[in-house]
Amino acid sequence: MMKHIVTINKANLKKSAEKGGCGKCQASCQSACKTSCTVANQKCEK
């Protein structure tokens, strides 16, 4: 347990790259918002 720092997530971006890139996920601008591209709120579909 750290005294000065609390890490709030698993920080697994690096791991995601090893198995990622399948391209099955949704295209990002589709449907919900038609101008601002927002990718990080999407789900991985694997």
Contacts with ligand SF4, 24-43, as mask; x by CB under 6 A: -----x-----x-x------
Identify what 10 binds: ligand SF4, another protein, none; CB under 5 to 8 Å per kind: another protein
How far, in Å, CA of 23 to CA of 2, rounded?
38
How far, in Å, CA of 41 to CA of 23, rounded?
16
**Which 22-41 positions form the footprint of another protein (CB under 8 A)?**
22-41
Name residue 33's amino acid. C
CB 43 within 8 A of CB 33: no
Q: Site residues (CB under 8 A) for another protein?
A: 2-14, 16-17, 19-45
